[in-house]
Structure 1
Amino acid sequence: MKKFIALIAAALLWVGAADGQAIVQTVRGKVFDIETQATIPGANISIAGTAQGTASSADGTFRIANVPVGRHDLIASFVGYEPVTLPNILVTSGKEVVLNIGLKQSSRQIDEVVVKANQRKDRTVNTMASISARTFSVEETRRYAGGLDDPARMASAFAGVTVGNIQDNAIIIRGNSPKGVSWRVEGVEIPNPNHFAGGNVAGGGFVSILSSQLLSNSDFYTGAFPAEYGNALAGVFDMKMRTGNNEKREHTAQIGLMGVDFASEGPFVKGKKSSYLFNYRYATAGILSKLKVIPSDQVPIYQDLSFKMSFPTAKAGTFSVWGVGGIDNLKEPEDADSTKWKVDFDRMKFDWNIKTGAAGINHKLTRGHSLISTSVAASGTSNILDQTRFDDLLMMQPNAYIKSNTAAITVSSVINSKLSANHTLRAGVTFKEQLYNLDISGTVKEDPDTYQNMVKEKGSSQVVEAYWQSRYQLSPSIQINGGVNASYFALNQNYSVDPRFSIRWQLANRHALTLGAGKHSQLEELRFYLTKQQGNGSKYPNKNLDFAQAQHLILGYDWTVSGNLRLKVEAYYQQLSRIPGIADSSYSMINFKQDWAFYDKLINNTKGQNMGIDVTLERFFSGGFYYLATASLFDSKYKGGDNIWRSTRFNKGYSLNLLAGKEYAISRNRIVGINGRVNYLGGERKTPILNAESIAAKRVIYDESRAFEEQYPATCYVDFTVTYRTNKKRYAGTWALQVKNLLSAPIYSSPAYNYRDKRVEEQKASLILPVLSYRIDF
């Protein structure tokens, strides 16, 4: 026993000694003009509260060695530019911290040099945005409880954003359908970048295919977005990839319930400036299924790859090659034992395969006071579903066949010119060649006797988009942004011209008013334009559908209560028009979730209005503590072909959210983080059921004359995350437990006919999603 106690004491002394060692890391990067990306030599960079600092070299790069691990504020300043603070930079032993710091030229007259850096974490990467916009970081996607390393799930904590259920990451922005969100990577519009995209909800999926390991600071918009963003009614995710470390090779390995990851970055050739960065992930459930650890036959199997390679040159600018892609598979075997059938899904068999990807080459060149960015990209999705159904004679019959192969080749060019310290102009043009091969068959309103082909087309079309926008500093306290976006759809020769405008008035040092207005337009999926109807005089009744449109008007108030505390209030009104719907019916695409077998004739006959108020009280991460409290009250109505105003499907009415977290340094090299989130929101609207008709038909039949009169109960979701970080001399490790829906709040889905009880019943499930993972950076 004495020997055992001695060994324990020796181990504790060794651990204490290890923790007492001062582990340090290098912080380096580049300082540049945020408008032109021209490097800034001689900029001052310092670690707040310490004597550590340096100045950027002739090429704008800087290096601060021997920075202790932990969180630090970094301050960057240069004469004639607005100084900035990069707060709470997490320094670990596993990887160097490489920062790209953009400084904005000051419009104020310089009388004396006074360095006073403001921490404005809420400001966007895009300098043209001034309202309903928010920057998020890769570190937040992990730290925010319920984020699951997924930007969409993380964004559901922001004001104006609600969710459907935890099985899908689709988001509802200010009462709009999730399909109204545009996704962009490296400035290029891409298909829905989620695993099992559009399975339950168009615009959503299970989890993002873009690895958080590759993300840099990115922007998220909830309304009145700048003119460069077309083809979106509700919001925009503008995601940026970071550049890999071009001096040192570093790696990350992670294993968890969501997947097994491996990431690597570094220089192609040491001593050169080119670099690579990639991440590969394979679903853990798929591995366990192949090892027969999971007995279920219905296991979602997915994998994804993200990468970026950067090639700077001395005079020809910087070239980068990037890509993101995912492969998904889900199978449901047949069950011929009719005594086990409870609902219609139990008598079905399917095999679902999806491939989604995007890749591009970008080039950036700075000339004088202008930045010219050009990109060529290819993107596409292959979605193939083969679903069959046992009939009453136990004969397998076709129920749905989806072959949706779509692709796009996108060429775009943007010039950003700083005409003066007060005036920046940005203009761009995009040409997109759309390719499609569609073969879609299914049943009408789930009636097995109506199986037919809805779409069978192969061809191409084009979309051309051009925009102009300008930011002008009218005075030190007033900034004006204005521009216009124009789009042309060659398939039906329709076009849209959308003006945008915003103004920010800094009333005082801590108070600001913002006003934003603009027209926004969006196209539907290609399959809706190419739908055919049996017995209809027109082969393509929907081919001439016009752009759906929305007018946004937003008034905001921003109060910086203190250096770390901000209160933001935004009141908004959105007027939607020309949304496709069915004549003399309550049906409208304004309520669209998903329907692969859609085949009706549509016309641009729906009007809608979304109005509400969003309140955000946020304490930025400081002193190891942060919180985010948001409240959204809203009303979402529409008037379809029957000329009756109704609630939309997504008119939940309210959403209350509280997110908070605290980090504890239990030793010099060990940190525990605890984060929690409570989200209370109204239920989704639903249409009453014609009970007698449904029982007679043995399938659900809705009373469309009373569309969305009813509502599911309100839901309270509770999420929890705990992390444990350790820093060793050669690596850093992180344990994380992320639990979504900790209290097992019910999840509601579409009702179904119960064969056993001969009645229609609500489908409700309770699901707790725990995600345990371990990550090592070395």
Structure 2
Amino acid sequence: MIIRLALLLLSLGIIFPVVAQEPALKQTLRGKVLDADTRQPLIGATLSLVSTNRGATTDTSGAYRLEGTPVGRYQLQASYVGYAPKIIPEVLLESGKETVLDIELQEQVEEIGTVEVRASRNDAAIACPTVRSISVEETLRFPATFYDPARLAATFAGVVNDNDQANGLSVRGNSPNGMIWRLEGLDIVNPNHTPNAGTFSDRITQNSGGVNMLSAQLLDLTHFYAGPFPAGFGNALSGVMDTRLRKGNSQQREFIGQASLIGLDLAAEGPFSRDSEAAYLVNYRYSTVGLLSAMGLELGDEAIRFQDLSFNLVFPGKKGAQITLFGVGGQSENIFKGERDSTLREFQKDRYDITFESQAGILGATVTLPAGNGGLWHTAAGFSMLDSRRYSDLVDRSSLPFREEEDVAIQQKLSVHSFFNQKFNARSRLRVGLLATHHDYDLFSAQAFVEVLAEGKGRGWLIQPYANWQQQWHHFTLNAGLQASWFSFNQTGSLEPRVSLEWKPKGNQHFSLAYGLHSQLQAPQLYFAVAAPDENRALAATKANHFSLSYRNDVSETMYYRLELYFQDLYDVPVSATQFNSFSALNLTEGFVEDALVNLGSGRNYGAEITVQQRFSRNWYYLINATWYTARYKGSDGIERYARFDGAYAANATIGKEWDRKPRKGKAGAWGANLRVMLSGGLRDTPIDEPASAAQGRTIYQTDRAFEVKLSDYFRADLRIYYRRNSENSSSTLALDIQNASNQQNVAFSYYDTQKRAIVEKYQLGLIPVLSYRVAF
């Protein structure tokens, strides 16, 4: 099948060859050029579209405008005297919507001849060698991401998607629980619909779900941090998904409609009035994923529904001041109906009615104010909540359903993040800030209303003050930071140094050495085990020393390769306090723990990563990477074992190309084809004790042989084919995504099935086609 698809893509290139003729359709590219540290406008900055004669300069407000630009893809270069120039390599102009792009430039010590290629990778006064920026344009192009930046991040080196049904990310051998989500700089709850998707126990996870609640229609850049991230990022061990919302168009009203076999989106944006730059952006989405089930495609045999509403309101002030108000709210459910006729039951699950319901909401605001000469003060505050409930009822023809399992997990976060930036000169910058998050927990889990596994309520402030100093020399950049962490819930804390040093011996070469001590609170369900209410509430945060050494070579303005070595030493990991066994919190993703725990466990992860990337240029791009890694841990028995997420290796190759069609009758278009191939080592599992499982009527593991089983290697090929059309007042894209185009049978996990009375292998998703149509006008 893959060969046939490749022949189809080749035929498209023959039928629709690249044409040199300039399209007749035009569009406007505009925005502002700002100082990255102070967000003050840069007056007289130069903008130019690479390989064209089109350009502009910024006015007294830092604004630029390139009108009458033919639709298509461009590279945009911004430069200003005394500042490092920058190229934005992937700018897409479509006829149905203006492209508004604000660019931040950083003052430099001396003039250099090369151009920085990393698109929008600046976060004022903060640098991180391992940060990757994900644009909405990339989510519209990469195969089978379904417009989710988390699924796209799985194409990066060192990152593995732990299950096809969800967007959980194992980063450098860590559990997906090691990550944290941020929105507009604030720590938030899990922002995903169906947060139980793809799990063994069908229970809620901390950081993943089937569908991202943050719609692509509202997203701007998403910064994905891995490795030793700098001060200002806390409560995470492996990665940070830092999501930003884009501004609505402040000069004209625009609309986006998108329909797919996953959901229906309707978005609107525009100015509040003609006399103000204040703008709104709002999106509503309702799921249509049930159509896949109607087509006979297996999605876990469940009826899935979700909907969400999101908005972002921006109110610019004078001299760079700005106020924003944003919000996201959504609900989802997946319902499985058991088979009433016992003679027709095939699997254990057929004996149950299972309902999972989830509601989530986020509401926040930001204020940005200039402060004196070279200063900037920014404050964000927000409230987020997640209420998830699961019910499992045993069904029988002769009686009413009997409630066998019930889970309630309610989590709330009240977050405040305030920082002050001061640029002393081109060499020196300081950021001082405070992260304060109030955590509120309410959990309950019971089996057959007899055995209560977890129950409790708790609340506490996580206080994280921090400071980061950046000092630049001719060839060196030093970032030195310190962050403290204190959790009032159990009076525990830590002091966490962060430091990175970058050396640029030549304009296109970068050597980086980084270290960070990071900590993360335990998953809420660990604190409230009924068997150990006092011991587990006292659990301190897990900590990790993270080291990395990297080299990057910018071969050209759009192509680079990167090598990195890393080592992570984890300690204060919760393990069993009552017996010597193999349990470790490092292997958890979902579920409840019945045992008393203590912070005496450890782990270590190390590996090597290589990445080669050609950004979109001359109508094609590629991203190729490989990772070799090891993840080990120790439980309370002191034996070092492979960790659950040790797959040994992972390799990704994504490639794509566009073919422009010759404009005719006021319309222009382009065909695109994108292919992604993934190959990775199988994750780890624990052998099942079949006789004990049969005797107890549930899966019983041989815990003394924890994670000795290595699942078979994972292979998946994804495809995205699209046709993008531009007409006079609108643009549209018709696309077909095929996840697992070869219908590969990848093992997810094994369990003992009481209906079959045997060990059963559960597989990942098979071939999933998703047709979508997007129109902007």
Relative to the length of structure 1, the TM-score reads 0.92
Question: What is the one-letter code of the residue matched to 1:679?
Answer: M
Distance 2:27 2:754 in 1: 64
Match of 2:283 in 1: 279
Deviations, residues 716-737 of structure 1 (Å, cap 9, x unaligned): 1000001111100010010111
Q: Secondary structure at the match of 1:540?
A: helix
Match of 1:378 among 358, 379, 383: 383
1:15-164 mapped onto 2 (5 Å cutoff): 22-108=24-110, 117-121=115-119, 123-125=121-123, 128-164=126-162
What is the aligned partner in structure 1 of residue 181 from structure 2?
183
Q: Deviations over 1:385-433 (max 9, x none)?
A: 1222248986643222122222122222111111111111111112222
Counterpart Cα distance in 1 of 2:301 and 2:508: 58
**Is the contact made by 1:77 and 1:115 (CA closer than 8 Å) also made in structure 2?**
no
Whether 1:564 and 2:563 are equivalent positions in the alignment is no
> Does 2:440 align with 1:435?
yes
- State yes or no: 1:482 paired with 2:476: no
Cα distance, 1:297 vs. partner? Answer: 8.2
Q: Which residue in 2 is equivalent to 1:680?
A: 679
Decide whether the 8 Å contact of 2:324 with 2:365 is kept in 1.
Answer: yes
SS at match of 2:211: coil
Extract unaligned runs of 5+ from structure 2.
Answer: 1-20, 200-204
- Higher mean displacement: 175-184 or 690-699: 690-699
- Indicate if the aligned counterparts of 1:477 and 1:507 stay in contact, CA closer than 8 A: yes
Q: 1:198 to 1:331 in 2, by over 3 A?
A: closer
Output the CA distance in 1 between the equivalents of 2:22 and 2:301. 51
CA gap of 1:165–1:288, structure 2 versus 1, over 3 A, is closer
Kept in 2: contact 1:725–1:735 (CA 8 A):
yes
**Aligned counterpart, 1:736:** 735
Q: TM-score, normalised by structure 2?
A: 0.92
Between the aligned partners of 1:643 and 1:385, the Cα distance in structure 2 is 36
Preserved CA contact (<8 Å) 1:370 1:416? yes
CA distance in 1, matches of 2:22, 2:568: 58
Matches within 5 A, 1:241-320: 241-285=245-289, 298-314=302-318, 317-320=321-324
Moved more, 117-126 or 217-226: 117-126
Is the aligned partner of 1:351 residue 2:355?
yes
1:641 to 632, 636, 640: 636
Whether the 8 Å contact between 2:366 and 2:381 is mirrored in structure 1 is yes
The answer on whether the counterparts of 1:125 and 1:219 sit within 8 Å (CA) in structure 2 is no
* Corresponding letter in the other structure for 1:382: D
- Secondary structure of the residue aligned to 2:534 is coil
Whether contact under 8 Å (1:176, 1:590) holds in the other structure is yes
Task: Tell me which amino acid in the other structure corresponds to 1:647.
Answer: Y
Distance 1:30 1:757, change over 3 A: closer
Find the aligned partners of 2:319 and 2:225 in 1 and give their Cα distance: 35
Match among 523, 548, 554 for residue 554 of structure 1:
548
CA distance 1:29–1:765, change in 2 (3 Å) = closer
After TM superposition, the structure 1 stretch with the greater mean CA deviation from structure 2, 675-684 or 318-327, is 318-327
The answer (yes or no) to whether the contact 1:399–1:451 under 8 Å persists in 2 is: no
Give % identity: 34
Unaligned 5+ segments in structure 1 are 1-18, 443-447
Partner of 1:12: none
Alignment of 1:132-531 (within 5 A): 132-199=130-197, 200=199, 201-285=205-289, 298-314=302-318, 317-367=321-371, 368-390=373-395, 396-442=401-447, 451-473=450-472, 475-531=473-529
Answer with 694-703 or 271-280: which moved more.
694-703
The alpha-carbon deviation at position 50 of structure 1 amounts to 2.8
Distance in 2 between residues matched to 1:293 and 1:160, nearest whole Å: 31
Structure 1 residues 541-550 or 559-568, which shifts more?
559-568
Kept after mapping to 1: 8 A contact 2:563/2:608: yes
C-alpha distance in 1, partners of 2:499/2:121?
18
Alpha-carbon spacing, 1:329–1:227, altered in 2? closer, same or farther (3 Å):
same
- Structure 2: distance between partners of 1:409 and 1:130: 27
Q: Following TM superposition, by how much is the alpha carbon of 1:606 offset from its aligned partner in structure 2, in angstroms? A: 1.1
Conserved? CA contact 2:280–2:312, under 8 Å: yes
Residue 51 of structure 1 and its aligned partner are, at CA, apart by: 2.8
Hey, what's the Cα distance between the residues in 2 that align with 1:138 and 1:295?
Answer: 26
Q: Is contact 2:23–2:71 with CA below 8 Å preserved after alignment?
A: no
Task: Specify the alignment match of 1:586 in structure 2.
Answer: 582
Task: Quote the offset at 1:123 in angstroms.
Answer: 4.2
Residue 287 to residue 168, structure 1, CA distance change in 2 (3 Å): closer
CA shift, 1:576, in A, is 0.5
Whole-Å separation in 1 of the counterparts to 2:426 and 2:25: 42
Secondary structure of residue in 2 paired with 1:527 = helix
2:169 & 2:233 partners in 1: Cα distance?
A: 18
Q: Give the letter aligned to residue 75 of structure 2.
A: D
Aligned partner of 1:11 in structure 2 is none
Look up the SS of the partner of 1:349 in the other structure. strand
Deviation at 1:146, TM superposition (A): 2.4
| Contact 1:411–1:431 (Cα < 8 Å) also in 2 | yes
Task: Supply the distance in 1 between the matched residues of 2:119 and 2:568 (Cα, whole angstroms).
Answer: 27
Residue 438 of structure 1: CA displacement? 2.6
CA-CA distance at 1:756 after TM superposition: 5.4
User: Helix, strand or coil for the counterpart of 2:691?
Assistant: helix
2:245 aligned counterpart, secondary structure: coil
What secondary structure does 1:240 align onto? strand
- Contact between 2:186 and 2:416, CA under 8 Å: does it hold in 1? no
Check conservation: 2:27, 2:95, Cα contact below 8 A: yes
User: Which one-letter code corresponds to 2:641 in the other structure?
Assistant: R
| Shift of residue 218, structure 1, vs aligned partner | 2.4
Contact 1:342 / 1:755 at 8 angstroms: preserved in 2?
no
Measure the CA separation in 2 of the matches of 1:722 and 1:401.
43
Q: CA deviation at 1:507?
A: 1.9
Tell me how far 1:610 sits from its aligned partner.
0.4
Q: Distance in 2 between matches of 1:303 and 1:530?
A: 31
Cα distance in structure 2, aligned partners of 1:699 and 1:440: 17
**Cα shift readout 1:516-549 (whole Å, capped 9, x = no counterpart):** 111000001333212222xxxx543301101101
Larger CA deviation: 689-698 vs 543-552? 689-698
| CA pair 518-728 structure 1, distance change in 2 beyond 3 A | same
CA distance in 1, matches of 2:120, 2:685: 36
Shift of 1:315: 6.0
What CA deviation, in whole Å up to 9, does each residue of 1:453-509 have, x standing for no partner?
233334532211111111110x22100011011111111100111100101001222
Task: Write the distance in 1 (CA, Å) between the matches of 2:443 and 2:755.
Answer: 38
Q: Secondary structure at the match of 1:216?
A: strand
Aligned in 2, Cα 1:329/1:508: closer, same or farther, shift over 3 Å? Answer: same
Superposition deviation, residue 314 in structure 1: 2.6
Compute the displacement of 1:347 (Å): 0.9
Q: How far 1:49 moved relative to its partner?
A: 2.7
CA contact (8 A) 2:261 2:291 kept: no
How many Å separate the matches in 1 of 2:36 and 2:659? 35
2:10 match: none
Distance 2:375 2:544 in 1: 33
* Structure 1 residues 563 and 404: CA distance shift in structure 2, 3 A: same
Structure 1 counterpart SS, 2:536 = coil
CA contact (8 A) 1:412 1:431 kept: yes
Once superposed, what is the RMSD of the aligned Cα atoms? Answer: 2.4
